[in-house]
Amino acid sequence: MANLSTYIAFLGNAKEAFTHYQDVFGGELQLMSYGDFPPMEGMPFTPDPDTIAHAQLDLDGGTITGGDAMPGEDYVVQGSIYSLLYTLDDVDKARELIQKLVDAGGSIQMPFEPAPWGATYGQVFDKFGVMWSFDVPA
């Protein structure tokens, strides 16, 4: 069965980010550090055993995956070129999730309100710089 999921590379704080996402959204979290794996031949670097090689959060309606970026990579996380779109069927639930992200240090990018196309829509940056778009169809 095919499945498409989002993958986010964090700059050394993937464990904190994914634990936060589980606190906000619920779901089942799996974390694997490089220390959980046997030595990997041919790796172009020696990974810190405490960094996250792979994280997966299975939540209602989707999966978020990610890990810590490779040494020397300095991805810019915050930006509006991408966002995670979470479509829900309950305006109050969407407001609750947005508020949890804001209360934890996030910021509103676009207020969650009725949109011209009939849905209720808004955007928020979480404390890690990831943009979340929330959509509740009419």
Domain ranges of the chain: 6-68, 84-136
- The reported pLDDT for the residue numbered 76 is 65
Higher pLDDT among residues 115 and 75, named by residue: 115
Give the span between the Cα atoms of 79 and 99, in whole angstroms. Answer: 20
Q: What are phi and psi of 103, to 5 degrees?
A: -60, -25
Tell me whether residue 131 is exposed, middle or buried, using C-beta atoms within 10 angstroms of its C-beta: 0 to 12, 13 to 18, 19 or more: buried
Question: Quick check: 77 pLDDT over 70?
Answer: no
Instruction: Give the pLDDT band (50/70/90) at residue 84.
Output: very high
- The reported pLDDT for the residue numbered 2 is 62
Angle 21-94-134 (CA atoms, 0-180°, nearest 5)?
80
Residue range 84-136 in CATH 3.10.180.10: yes
Return the CATH superfamily for domain 6-68: 2,3-Dihydroxybiphenyl 1,2-Dioxygenase, domain 1 (3.10.180.10)
Question: What global pTM score does this model have?
Answer: 0.86
Same fold flag, 6-68 and 84-136: yes
- Helix ranges (H only) for 8-134 are 14-25, 91-103
Mean pLDDT over 25-37 rounds to: 94
